[in-house]
Amino acid sequence: MKCSDTTAKQFCKEPNIQFAKRIRFVNQTSLVLLGYNTISCVQLSKKGTDLLIVGELWHIDTTVAGVIDISDVVVGDGGCMYVSGSKSNNVKLLKTNGKWGIRSTIYFNMQPTSVSLNNSKQKIIVSCDDNTVRVFAEK
């Protein structure tokens, strides 16, 4: 990850950020960091103009859930997230009740590259490496 402005440079010194290949905001106080086979959620705090990581809320090794080489994640309502794996050719819905578990799986013949969620229409949108976009109804 490259950091250009002063605030970003300070933020990027955090060890969790340095190894993240994608970053997603969950809300104003937490951030999800994607590694190749790990997802971490960290708590944020603002000090002046600086954004600081004050602690890790949770961490998951996605190989346990069968997601290999994470390409994207989207956090949904109600403590769930969709995780796409480019090497495992799948998107998994993971849900937590204190411990992350697999709720459903969508398999592909190609590599999913990104995943998005339209909460109002209850649709999951997945783009793949063959330049296609697929839309699924959320169950």
Measured CA to CA in angstroms, residue 51 lies from 18, 19, 21, 44, 58 at distances of 15, 18, 19, 7, 19
Does residue 114 contact residue 82 with C-beta atoms inside 8 Å? no
- Asked if 101 and 34 sit in the same domain, the reply is no
Domain count, the chain: 2
Q: Who's near 83: CB < 8 A, 6+ residues apart?
A: 39, 62, 65, 67, 70, 72, 73, 91, 92, 94, 115
User: 113 near 84, Cβ under 8 Å?
Assistant: yes
Are 103 and 95 contacting, i.e. CB atoms less than 8 angstroms apart? yes
Range of the domain at 10: 1-61
Cα separation of 75 and 39, whole Å?
11
Centroid of chain to Cα 136: 19
Chosen domain end from 14, 42, 61: 61
92 and 139: one domain? yes
- Could you read off the pLDDT of 10-46 as tens digits, one per residue? 555 555 566 788 888 888 888 898 988 889 888 988 8
Whether the CB-CB separation of 63 and 37 falls below 8 Å is answered with yes
Residues 33 and 73 reside in one and the same domain: no
User: What would the mean pLDDT of 72-90 be, rounded to a whole number?
Assistant: 89
Question: Which pLDDT tens digit goes with each residue over 49-64?
Answer: 877 888 888 888 888 8
**56 and 89, same domain (yes or no):** no
Provide the CATH number for the domain around residue 116.
2.40.10.500
In this predicted structure, which of 6-10, 14-18, 84-88 has the lowest mean pLDDT? 6-10
Same domain, 18 and 74: no
Percent of the chain with pLDDT over 90: 31
Average pLDDT over residues 69-89: 89
